[in-house]
Amino acid sequence: MSSKLIDLENIESPVKSPIIESTVDFIRKIYGDGAIPLHRPIFDGNEKAYLSDCIDSNFVSSAGAKVFEFEDKVASFTGAKHAVAVVNGTNALQVALLVAGVNAGDEVITQALTFVATCNAISYAGANPVFIDVDKDTVGMSPASLREFLEGNAFRKGGQAFNKSSGKRIKACLPMHTFGLPCRIQEISDICKEWGIHLVEDAAESLGSFYGKRHTGTFGLLGAISFNGNKIITTGGGGMLLTDDDQLAKRAKHITTTAKIPHKYEFWHDEVGFNYRLPSLNAALGVAQMEQLHWMLEMKERVAREYCEFFSSIGWQMVHPLQNCKSNNWLNAIVLGNQKERNAFLEYTNEKNIMTRPIWRLMSELEMFKHCQNDGLKNSKWLEERVVNLPSSVPNEFK
């Protein structure tokens, strides 16, 4: 991957160059004047009506039909057999790992190039992350790096995988579909099966993204989606677990609803559970948002197409989904030539009130995950220095 260098000689202080300025003009042409956020929610459907239903019926909290309706809608859209709503995407990941059997002292393989919630969820389960490199094209976990790591650093015993250096069980693998771009999930799934490692997908950013014909988050034992305010659709805050496994779905529902044994009036709980139930108010928003998802995805595709045409005309590199995949185009991203160019671009655009932001810092650089094993993370470091997200909301004029 390469991109045409910005003419750094011509970048003055405050940073500018003709090519960055033409990018700013292009973004202004799409989004108009004023401050341009990275991603804003759209409430153009039945949001207010469904919220009123909740208030009028007194079902605003964790009981009521809206939660089940929302779960059904997400299950049928994604093709997952079960969907279990929870208060946010981080908790969805935490519970997914828990019901997949991840315990204190286990190891979970993930990518260092991700949002911190992925690794926080692993920590909540008492497990340690192990960081594997990503592919440059998908910005998601590299199956080649995963295989290489396992062959060099793990051994099998009784159909399970163990880390040679720590002696600990590698219980799960948690890849992430970055910005909605599906990673090579089928290959990752095959490797996990060979090694007896449970696959759990962080599909927080990828509602509406498909690998082949199959929705992301449905390749593993479980997947997790987020409905935070900046995601493709939002419930204010919210998350969803996906699984085809009847028992795991039942257990996820049970432990996220205080582990209460259903009974007309008795309070009986059979383990330490969580109060992670999604309130009806949030689910009402979710039902309305799901009704607009198809339209939203079409509009997001239009934005991505326009960016793509513009950047190919100036010779800059965008991140594109793999040929056999469909991205939800949640956040558009460009790959700049080097860190200096990236900084110049971020500086200039943000100064112009256009919100652009760099990809996350590697988890392996954060204090709490510094000690965790990694495989060198060559591509992750390369991308960390170059990738920038662009404003990606559905523009008003598209509606």
In the complex, the residues that contact ligand PLP under the rule CB under 6 A are: 88-90, 114-115, 117-118, 176, 202, 204-205, 226, 228, 239
Q: Report the sign of the C-alpha dihedral through residues 274, 275, 280, 285, in that order.
A: negative
Cα 56 to Cα 235, 282, 331, distances in angstroms: 19, 15, 37
Shortest Å, Cβ 44 to ligand PLP: 22
CB nearer to ligand PLP: give 26 or 115: 115
- Alpha-carbon distances of 176 from 109, 123, 139, 372, rounded to whole Å: 11, 16, 9, 18
Nearest to ligand PLP by Cβ — which residue?
A: 89
What's the 3-state SS for 67-105? HHHHHHHHHHHHCCCEEEEECCHHHHHHHHHHHCCCCCC
Q: 10 Å Cβ neighbour count for 156?
A: 12
**Nearer of residues 218 and 226 to ligand PLP, judged by Cβ:** 226
Least separation, in Å, of the C-beta of 177 and ligand PLP? 8
The CB-of-114 to ligand PLP minimum distance in angstroms stands at 5
Q: Helix %, strand %, coil % for the chain, to 5?
A: 40, 20, 40
In the complex with ligand PLP, the residue whose CB is nearer, 70 or 115, is: 115
Q: How far is CA 339 from the centre of its chain?
A: 24
Nearer to ligand PLP, 179 or 316 (CB): 179
Q: What are phi and psi of 281, to 5 degrees?
A: -60, -45
Task: Answer for the pair 277, 62: CB distance below 8 angstroms, yes or no.
Answer: yes
Least separation in angstroms between CB 332 and ligand PLP? 15
> Taking the complex as a whole, how short is the minimal distance between the CB of residue 237 and ligand PLP, in angstroms?
6
**Cβ proximity to ligand PLP, 43 vs 312, nearer residue:** 43
Least distance in angstroms from the C-beta of 127 to ligand PLP: 16
Q: Which is nearer to ligand PLP, 337 or 358 (CB)?
A: 358
